[in-house]
Structure 1
Amino acid sequence: MNAVVPTPNRISEGTAVPSLPVVNKPSDIVAIATSTAPWNSAVQVATALAARWQSLLTGCFVDESLRMLRGSESEPSVLGLLLDTPVQDFEAADGFRAFARSRGVPHASWVVAHSGLARVLRELGAWHSLAVLERDVVDGEALTELLGEVLLTCRLPSLILPPDWNRDTPFQRVLVAWDGSTEAVRAIHAALPFLQGARRVVLLDGGRPHSPESECYLPHFEPFVYMARHGIEADPMCVGVPARTAGAALLKKAEQVGADLIVMGAFAHSRLREHTIGCATRYVLEHAQIPIFLQH
């Protein structure tokens, strides 16, 4: 039987190029705002991405005193009702829309939430494609607890920026962490717009976990083949280290290749109703000096 070959697109000089699937860019991006004069890094990066992809943009402000509220604590509280920031902050809203419009964003909206940040992101994750926030949006190790809860409950792809990130955001050299997990597969799929826009993509293969015999009959994901089908030619790189040092090894490889973005699956689990993330994810979150794209 003859194989069916896709009809190529024709360009000048009669050169044929293969048709590639259209990747859905993030249609709705949410930025967690922590300052307005000047706008914090998450707002600036999210605005640049929304302008590049012509995405809709939401700026969301959550007061610092409320961000770590969890569970029943995150219900609208007396403290929240007494905050100086009104629910309708017209000055900040107008400033945000003007800032976004001046940078080419087609539409921007502004919301002020009086609840815990995890609950806010879960709610926004229902109709947003990407969240952009900074690592120091909450204090210390609280971010890993916050992200564990968010990643488990809404699986919202998140771009996490290191503190005081003020570089341009072309994301031209991307390191993809691959370990054969479903989380890593989801991360590659969700990060396709970043990968297609990069000049170099390096796939760091950390080895695949042993699969039960029953899984041998399931569809198998090949990252190089999948990315090639989307026009992405990735360079292979292997690393063999124990799980306890995987995070440090990943950051070392990212530095060696000059990566300006890390794409990785975030392993998360629920233990006695506490949402936690894996040790490699935790290490990278706490020590990375470049942005991280996470997907559970």
Structure 2
Amino acid sequence: MAFKSLLTVLTSLSDADPALRQIIALAGAQDAHVEALCLGVDRSQTGYYYAGANAMILQETLTRANAEAAEVLAHASDILGKSGARWSADDGVAQLADIGRHVAHRARFSDLVVLPRPYGDNHGTEAEPIIEAALFEGHAPVLIVPDQGEPVAAPRNIMVAWNQSVEAMRAIRRALPFLAAAELVRIVVIDPPSHGPERSDPGGLLAQMLARHGVTCEIDVLSKTMNRVSDALNRHAVDTSADMVVMGAYGHSRFREAILGGATRNMLEQARLPVFMAH
């Protein structure tokens, strides 16, 4: 199975190009259709304004959001129109608190959602809820694209973060089109539990399953020599020249992730290569 329906959600010109370049590269490799949802975001919180100001502020914010959506749509249409890919693009306006509903509806009918990295300079506050809406409400896999670097059309060297979790397995299953086409897949296990079901052969059953799909695997068992798991994963990805990382998203509750960070958030803050996630 290939990824035939690709979606990207764009809210700003400042971070649109990496996602557009990546989705165009994937469309060529997968013979897929590209859909761009260009949203202007209404960030106003009218409950905080004095009486009588709501109508004026609402009109101003809606006008601004419509202008931003039109600007992003024109930019995306120009780039996609020159790409040679099959594509469509729509624009609209969404309130920040309601943006997830719009994203989830489109993501539900997509094979893969390609989104810009949610953290860093010139990234809006809506980037994180867009990713979570695609993952949790849209039930779609998401490919997070770094700000810099060349797009990856067909990753040849993929690193899989394996911790025996349901989320990790789901991400691996959804990434099978990439894994089956890769030259090498590295299954990375960090500090496997000494009393777990895979204590004698960490990653062995996963490697066996993938091998039956024609995937060439190697297993790298690492010690947690750095403070965070994400640091070890990022360093190993660089050391092994990985083209893509596959990992499960949000192993803990999202509230705990938001307060304490967690591997998902830390990974996305630091990633310098595309990260494929599913939940």
The normalised TM-score by structure 1 is: 0.71
- Where does residue 8 of structure 1 map in the other structure? none
Aligned amino acid, residue 122 of structure 1: A
Aligned amino acid, residue 31 of structure 1: T
- Residue 53 of structure 1 pairs with residue 35 of structure 2: no
Shift of 1:38: 10
The question of whether the paired residues in 2 share the 8 Å contact of 1:134 and 1:161 is answered with: yes
Aligned amino acid, residue 206 of structure 2: P
Shift of 1:64: 5.2
Task: Pick one of 197, 204, 208 that aligns with 2:181.
Answer: 197
Flag the 1:187–1:78 CA change in 2: closer, same or farther, 3 A: farther
- Where does residue 55 of structure 2 map in the other structure? none
1:138-190, CA deviations, whole angstroms, 9 ceiling, x for partnerless residues? 74887556544543333321111122x24132322211101111111111111
Aligned amino acid, residue 92 of structure 2: V
1:101-129, CA deviations, whole angstroms, 9 ceiling, x for partnerless residues? 54332343333342434333212122112
Partner-residue secondary structure (3-state), 1:32: strand
The question of whether the paired residues in 2 share the 8 Å contact of 1:268 and 1:275 is answered with: no
Partner-residue secondary structure (3-state), 2:228: helix
- Residue 31 of structure 1 pairs with residue 21 of structure 2: no
Where do residues 114-193 of structure 1 align in structure 2 (5 Å cutoff)? 114-116=94-96, 117-136=99-118, 139=123, 143-144=127-128, 147-148=131-132, 150-163=134-147, 165-170=148-153, 171-193=155-177
Partner-residue secondary structure (3-state), 1:112: strand
Where do residues 236-275 of structure 1 align in structure 2 (5 Å cutoff)? 236-241=219-224, 245-270=228-253
> Structure 1 or 2: larger helix share?
2
- Where does residue 54 of structure 2 map in the other structure? none
Task: Pick one of 206, 210, 214 that aligns with 1:227.
Answer: 210
Aligned amino acid, residue 85 of structure 1: N
The normalised TM-score by structure 2 is: 0.75
1:234-284, CA deviations, whole angstroms, 9 ceiling, x for partnerless residues? 111111328962111111111110112111001255567997896111111
Partner-residue secondary structure (3-state), 2:66: coil
| Corresponding pairs, count | 257
Aligned amino acid, residue 29 of structure 1: L
The question of whether the paired residues in 2 share the 8 Å contact of 1:152 and 1:275 is answered with: no
Aligned-partner Cα distance in 2 for 1:274–1:254: 23
The question of whether the paired residues in 2 share the 8 Å contact of 1:87 and 1:113 is answered with: no
Where do residues 50-129 of structure 1 align in structure 2 (5 Å cutoff)? 50-63=27-40, 66=43, 81-83=62-64, 85=66, 89=70, 96-97=76-77, 99-100=79-80, 102-116=82-96, 117-129=99-111
Flag the 1:277–1:197 CA change in 2: closer, same or farther, 3 A: farther
Q: Which runs of 5+ in 2 are unaligned?
A: 46-57, 198-202
Flag the 1:127–1:168 CA change in 2: closer, same or farther, 3 A: closer
The question of whether the paired residues in 2 share the 8 Å contact of 1:268 and 1:276 is answered with: no
Partner-residue secondary structure (3-state), 1:25: coil
The question of whether the paired residues in 1 share the 8 Å contact of 2:6 and 2:32 is answered with: yes
1:65-114, CA deviations, whole angstroms, 9 ceiling, x for partnerless residues? 54x99xxxxxxx7566323636994x875764564354332343333342
- Residue 280 of structure 1 pairs with residue 260 of structure 2: no
Q: Which runs of 5+ in 1 are unaligned?
A: 1-23, 70-76, 214-219
What's the RMSD between the two structures over aligned residues? 3.8
- Where does residue 44 of structure 1 map in the other structure? 21
